Structure formats: structure tokens, C-alpha cells
Structure 1
Amino acid sequence: MRHQDHQHAAWHGLAGLLLLGLAQQACALTAQQVHARSAASVVALDILDADGQRIVERSATRIGEGRFVTACENLHSGAALQLRAGTDAVPAQLGARDRERNLCELLAPHAGPPLPLQPDLPEAGQRVFAISNALGLGVGISEGVVAGVRQDTGGPLIQFTAPISPGSEGGALLDEQGRLIAILDYRRRDGQNVNFGAPAAWLAELAARAAADAAQLARLDAGHALAGAAQWPALATHAAQWLAVQPGQADALRFAAEAARAQQQPAEELNAWRALRRVQPHDAEAGLDLVQALLQQQQLAEATALARQLVAEHAGEARAHWLLARALHADGALDAAESSYRRALAANPWLVAAYNGLAALAQARNDHGTAVAIFARLSGLYPEEAWPRQQLIGALLRAQDVARAHAELQNLPPAHVDSASSWYLRGLVASRMGRPEAAVQALRTSLARDAQQDSAWIQAELGAALTALERYPEAISALREAVRSEPASTRWRVLLGDTLRAGGLAPQALAIAQQLVAEQATSAAHWGLLARTLVTLDRDAEALPALERALQIDASDAALWASLVHVQQNLGQHRLAAEALRRLRELEPARAELVYRTLVLPYGENR
């Protein structure tokens, strides 16, 4: 009997386990079912600028009546917040914030069901679903498994493999029953499909932790308000007062650095970033901000060394590879820079700055085809954005593909066809097509649309177009404005000098050329302007050494060789002129033929 009882009990136990397994399987939902039940509880979050234009798209998850939660990072980068479900959009306000755990509550009059919570931490291998507004394409779903639970400074984080992308921040990680187990946090990444979420249990602690941190949040809000209003001296004072109360406080140091940068105080800015790095030696963001500041101040050796250290410590951090690439690029190590740009993109395929870096490398190598291909790809990835298409048009112009550049003007997003930058590009294309009148009209329209920081470029191009029309007084006025806007740009000063020379004001052009040569004697453009101006003033003997110096610096400039033939012919140095013509023919046969027919053949010399 006892044996039979044990056997009977065993059978009951097995049956119970079987029924439990069947019950669990019955409760497990398919991806389609999870999406159908839960997608309405995840909405798009728009960060808007002062004009109400969307600058960043993210996700937010409904946790109660009129309550949502999202990731805190960079919410202060805009002027307002908006939640969007389909075509319905409502304004949102910040509620409770837990910055250490990167969780922020949003309050908005948006009706709908909250997701059921599962506060228990999941087990490794458990099937999960990520629902989010990835890449701003609309709320969608991806599937993966829990890789494990990892410890972070704020507590445990859930690591999972379901693919997410920029824009997923604030979305929902759900279990097989459609219960919320975590809030997605895209910024915490260490590699491909290595993603993290903040446990749902933290949501119950959000209000209490925010209340305990109220004084810090008030100081933070005051700092963001001053930065948003560009009150930089007041922000510097606010940061200093905060640091006096809390020496080494990270947010205060960031504000101090931002205020110093805005006020063009490079030493104070670097001191603040270095102090932040000392306070947070293991924080990737603190190190990356310091590298960026070092690069801006051309301190390449220190920037490169720190970027290498950050790459070693945070191998999956795309920005670390990108900043190392920038440092190597600036130092002329182009092959190594290319490798680092590509590693950045392997870590984050959506890092636009890395694509821009690769395109700049291609252009530095005169590989315009690669630059065009990169910007064409970005135009396809971001069809609603103007900048990729604008960059593509610029790359096509550098590749001398004016016809395709003109065609791409028709593909600018409708919302941007009347912008200052779009009219500027129309002006560039018209100028390259040999239509200076159309170029002038487009460039003046661009200025009327408010070009902001790019006005120097527009004025310079306007000056060039007016010069082509021989409307020299207007051209000189435009170029003087370009130089006034960007006095450090020697490019505009060279262009102004050439226009003054052509417009009958060669003595003024000579003064500019002599000043440029004195400031930077290693520029072929500066010596070339000096030589051309001296030729205009019939001072060929003085122009000759200036041309020779320019060609020592850049022997590939065909225009300089053409000028040298002219000067040597005028000075009776016919053999030397013939040798200069031979060099010109190697560079530009068509130009050499024109120079031969106009400067050599009339005097009876042979080829």
C-alpha cells in the first residue's frame, strides 16, 4: 500500500506539473497579440523647439490615468513636450523625476488604458517584447529574450536582446503575458542587441525619490531655464553658487562648462570639464564631453589619449569611437580615422555624425563618389529631414555633377523648400550652371529668409555671382559683409581682394594681399592673390617671385601656372614660359591650349 501511495502521489505530482505547464503556455501571447493589446499604451513623445517644430522623437509608456513615463535624458533640450498617438497630439508637462535612474513622469490629458505591471525581476532566457517609437517610425514591436539582470549605480537593470533604436527611449518591455517589466533606456548600450531597461518596480518609488531630491531638481530647473534664455553670466553665477554649497556637483559643473563655452572662456570651460571627469572618472559621458571640448580647442594629443582610454573602457560606446575618429582625422591619420568612424557605426548604425565624418574623409581624398553615396543613403534614411538632401546636393556640386544636383533640388522635403538654406543651395547650383542672374536672385531670397549663422557664406556666394555679372560695387559690398561676419575667414578676404582688383581698386586689393601674406606665408592662395594684384598693377617683376612662392607651396594649381606663363612672357623669359606651359598642359590641357593661343602663339613662339 505504501508503494502504491507513493506511486499515486508521484502521478499526481507529474500531472500537476503538466497542468501548470499547460496553464503557462495558455497564458503566453504571440507577438501579434501582445502588440494588439499593448501598443495603444505606448505613444510617441516629441521634443519641440520654440517654434513648435519637432527636434527629437522618443517614446512614452502609459502608467496611469493621464500619467506616462519616459527616459529623462535630454528632455530639457527643447522648449516644450508633446505626446502623439496617430494624428492626435496633446501637450505634456514634466512630473516626478528620478534622474539617477533616468525615469521621468509626464502628465498629459490623454485617455487610455495603462499597462499591467509585473514588478518581479524576470529570469534569464525569458521571452520579452519591446514596444516603442523606434526611429520615429511609429509604435512597433520587436522580440527577444532576457539576457540577465545587471547591477548599476541606481539598482538592477534588465538586459535584453529585443532590437531597439534611437527613439525607443521610454518605450515598454513586456513579458509573454503583456505585462510591463521595464522601461526602455536606449542610451545604456554596450553592443549590438545588448540593451537595458529600468525595472517596472522602480515606478512605485518614483514620486518618493523625486520628493527627496526636490532641492536638487529646483537648482537643475533654474539652470536649464537660464541656459534656455541664453543668460550665460547668470548661469555661470548659478553654477558657482551651487558648487559653493555642493563642491563637485556634476550638474553644476556641466552648467559651468556650458556658460564658459558660450562666453568664449576656453580655460574656464576646460577646467569645468576636467573637474567633472575627476568627480565621475568612470562615467562615459563625463569623459566624452571633455574629449569634445579638447577637440574644439585643438588640444589633439590630450584628446586622442583620452578618447583611446574611453574606447578601451567603453568599447560599445559609439560616441567614444566617433570622437577618437575626429581626433585622428584632425591629426591627419586618415586611415585610422576611417576605421574608428566605422567602429562607431558598428556600435550605432544611426550615428549621423560618423557618416558625416566618413563623407568628410572621402572629400579630403577627392573621393566625391563615396561622399555622394553616403549622403544619398542618409537621405533615404531620413526622407523628412532637409539636411541629408542638402548635404547630398553639396557633395554633388563638389563632384562636378551639377545636373544631378539641380535634379535633387526638386526632392527637398516640402516643409523646407522655402528655407534660407534651400535658397542658398539654389543659388549655388545656378552659379555652377553659369546662370549668375538666377544665382543672385536665389541668394538674396536666402538672406531674406534669415540665414542666421550662415550669412557669411551666402554673402560670399552673392559677391561671386555679382562679380561674374561685373557688378563690382554690389559684389564688393556683399563680400565686405561676408568678411565682417567672419573676420577670421581668409577665404572671403582672398575673394574680396580679387573682386577689388577686377573692379578697378587694385591698391586696396594689394593691401589685403600683403596683410594675408604677412599673417600666413604658407598659403598658396595668399601668394597667388598678391601675384595677380601686382600683375594688374603692371608690376610683373615683383609678381614673379610671388608666383614662384605660391607654386612651391601648391604645384597642382593650374591657374597659378597660367599666370606664371603670362608673367614670364611679359618679362621676355620665353624658355621659362614654355616650361611653365608644359607643366600646365600636364594639369589642364584645355587651359594650356587657351594660354598658348592667347599668350604664346601671337608672339610666334612654338609649342
Structure 2
Amino acid sequence: MSAAALLGACAAAQAVDAEVDRETHIRLASSVLKIEVLNRGGGYSLGSGVLIDRDEVVTSCHVTRNAQRIHVLQGGLRLAATGQSAQMRRDLCVLRVPGVLGQVVATAPTQSLKAGDAVIAVGYTGGLAPYASAGKVIAKHRHSEGQVIRSSTSFNSGASGGGLFDTQGRLLGILTFRMRGAEGQYFSVPSDWIAPALHAPSAFGPVGPLEGLAFWEATDAAQPPFLQAATLKAQQQWQSLAGLSRRWAHEDPKDGDAFHHLADALEHLGDLEGAEGALTRSALLEPDEPRGWLQLGQLRARMGRLADAGQALLRLRALAAAAAPHATEWADDLARLLDKR
């Protein structure tokens, strides 16, 4: 995916906050702050940040990369950042901001997060006021010893560096970028990456311009395979997607995402047996992920393998009994499909 097709969310589109109840909005907004950056060469850019500890605010490095000075705006105050710990490649920066006030957030690991989990994005979309958007996790993508979260929680210009929260108000990720012209393609880097920025020796340096690019800004071949796959899928280049997915699976045979994309490509190419094999591998690598079992059951039903589709349904029922999000709904969908057969 070219960097032009991916957009950071650090610059206007005001949306109506109609999805998140007022109490939740107020509670989460107390932890999300507006970031103002005076860039080298003049000019300002705006973004968002999340209060993660006393005097420490996390944001996206692409918001601050050209900074001469950084301020956190809070009420009528402009509080200066005195230091910055940057992981530019991961697009995660922690600012030291003495005197900043607000509700420090708790973080939650992304490991137990599943497709279908409810999430809330909060950031300064349009740079005016904190905007909250409710949505669901669509997928997680392994990258750099973590899992980048893709969700349906919309965010736009000014929201970069804002927070992706679970329904308990715990920070799951930092709003980072979106895919141009695509629904459900909003990406957040994981909160698991914050600790290295805080605890590395001599982590904090002076505020100043940063060198390098974030992983999602790289040229096509240098991007993570999940982003390359997203581009090929959007362009319906199924042969190329199959080739990429096979190389990806060979290099990382424990990544179920690779087999999931391979199955998608093979199904569109008419190789249903190959697609079924790839989806089976993906489901076995991620046995607690309901989405994979749903898609496997649907494909097997399409192939007329109703008994095998029933096995996928049983797995969904078991996940539903374990209170897996959306497993009950998806099991009912698959059961209705099988009844029609």
C-alpha cells in the first residue's frame, strides 16, 4: 500500500458524536488531550494525546516529528513538553509534560482482544473538541512484537495520538492511521508498545525533529505484509495476493493472518479446496477467534460439506459458552445458513 493511500489523522472533518453515551464520553475525554506542535520552518499541526502517567502523555510520532516546540492544551492552559521518548518506526512517542492534569488511564494488553469486541475511539477530530466513536475490533495484525488493531471506530484529522479504549475505559491502542476510501480500515498501534518508550535507558531526550518514517509510511515493498495484503485486496489483485500470502505464510507459519488472506485470494480465484485448507490452518492457529470459524463454516456450507460446516458451528457454540464476543450471534447466523441447505 503506498503511503499516499494511508492517512495519518493529524490535521479536519468534524463529526457528530452520536454513538457514545454522554457519561462514557466525559469519562474517557478527561484522559485525552489536545497536542499543538510548532513545526520547524513555521506552521502548526494538531493532534491528540493520552495521559498515561503523572506528567507523561503518549501520542503519535508523526504528529510531533517536525516539532520545535510541543504544547498540551488543557482548558485555558498551554503546557510545554520538556522531553520526548520516540519510537519513530512504531509511530509511538511519549511526551514529558510537567503539571498536566487529568485522569491517568489504565492500559490493557491486546493479546486477549478478539474480533467483534466493542471499542471506543477518542481524539480531537477536527482539532476542536474530543470526539468519541464506538465500533468493533475487526482484526489484529502481528507486527514488531505486538498486534496492530484494525477497527470500525472512525477517526479523522486531528485524532492521531488519541486513544482506543475497551468498554471498561482501559487503553488498548493509540489511534494512528486509516486507509483512504475504505470502510472499517482504522488502525491503532498497541498499548503494549508504550512500556519500551518509558523504560528504555535514557529514554527521554529534548523535544526536536525526528528522523525516519513510521512502518505504515514506508514504500510498498517495505510495508508489513498485512498492509501489502490490504492494498492487493482493495485492488482485487487476487493472484498477487495469493503469491504474497504464500510467501508470508512461509516466512511466518504461525501467523493465522497470512492463511486468512491466502484463503480469501484462493476463494476469489475459484480454488475452494485450497481456500478451505488455508482457512482451516488459520482457525487452528487462532482457535479462540470466532470470526475464523464462522468463515470456515460458511465456506464449507458453500462447498456442500455440511457435516464439516457443522463442526465449525460446534466450535462457535463452544466459544459462545465461554462468553466470546459475537460467537453466539455468528453461531446463529451459521446455523440459519445450514438450515437453508
**TM-score scaled to structure 1, two decimals?**
0.31
1:175–1:281 distance in 2 versus 1, CA, 3 Å: closer
Contact 1:41-1:112 at 8 Å conserved across structures: yes
C-alpha separation between the residues in 2 aligned to 1:312 and 1:126? 25
Identify the match of residue 172 of structure 2 among 168, 178, 181: 181
C-alpha separation between the residues in 1 aligned to 2:191 and 2:231? 32
Residue in 2 that maps onto 1:493? none
Matches within 5 A, 1:552-591: none
Residue in 2 that maps onto 1:474? none
1:126–1:55 distance in 2 versus 1, CA, 3 Å: same
Matches within 5 A, 1:183-332: 183-186=174-177, 191-208=182-199, 210-211=200-201, 224=209, 251=212, 282-283=221-222, 313=232
Q: Alpha-carbon deviations, 1:512-537, whole Å to 9, x = none? A: xxxxxxxxxxxxxxxxxxxxxxxxxx
The Cα shift of 1:142 comes to 0.8
Indicate the SS of the match to 2:81.
strand
* Greater strand fraction, Structure 1 or Structure 2: 2
Give the percent of matched residue pairs that are identical in Structure 1 and Structure 2. Answer: 24
**Structure 1 residue 71 and structure 2 residue 10: aligned?**
no
Contact 1:132-1:139 at 8 Å conserved across structures: yes
The Cα shift of 1:140 comes to 1.6
Residue in 2 that maps onto 1:58? 47
Q: In the comparison of the two structures, how many residue pairs are matched?
A: 208
Residue in 2 that maps onto 1:155? 146
Counterpart amino acid of residue 162 in structure 1 = T
Contact 1:131-1:142 at 8 Å conserved across structures: yes
The Cα shift of 1:185 comes to 0.7
Indicate the SS of the match to 2:183.
coil
Q: Which structure 1 segments of 5+ residues have no match?
A: 1-29, 226-249, 255-278, 286-308, 317-607
Residue in 2 that maps onto 1:40? 30
Q: Alpha-carbon deviations, 1:45-77, whole Å to 9, x = none? A: 0111469x7621100000011100001115232
Residue in 1 that maps onto 2:101? 111
The Cα shift of 1:150 comes to 1.2
Counterpart amino acid of residue 167 in structure 1 = G
Moved runs in structure 1, 4+ residues, more than 3 A? 187-190, 210-214, 309-316
C-alpha separation between the residues in 1 aligned to 2:67 and 2:142? 32
Q: Alpha-carbon deviations, 1:295-342, whole Å to 9, x = none? A: xxxxxxxxxxxxxx99965959xxxxxxxxxxxxxxxxxxxxxxxxxx
Residue in 1 that maps onto 2:242? none
1:157–1:46 distance in 2 versus 1, CA, 3 Å: same
Indicate the SS of the match to 2:79.
strand
* Greater helix fraction, Structure 1 or Structure 2: 1
Indicate the SS of the match to 2:27.
helix
Q: Alpha-carbon deviations, 1:421-456, whole Å to 9, x = none? A: xxxxxxxxxxxxxxxxxxxxxxxxxxxxxxxxxxxx
Contact 1:46-1:54 at 8 Å conserved across structures: no
Matches within 5 A, 1:165-564: 165-186=156-177, 191-208=182-199, 210-211=200-201, 224=209, 251=212, 282-283=221-222, 313=232
C-alpha separation between the residues in 2 aligned to 1:126 and 1:311? 21
C-alpha separation between the residues in 1 aligned to 2:130 and 2:170? 17
C-alpha separation between the residues in 2 aligned to 1:54 and 1:193? 32
Identify the match of residue 125 of structure 2 among 122, 134, 149: 134
1:190–1:158 distance in 2 versus 1, CA, 3 Å: farther
Residue in 1 that maps onto 2:277? none
Counterpart amino acid of residue 222 in structure 2 = D
C-alpha separation between the residues in 2 aligned to 1:117 and 1:176? 12
Greater relative contact order, per chain length (Cα 8 Å cut-off, separation 6+): 2
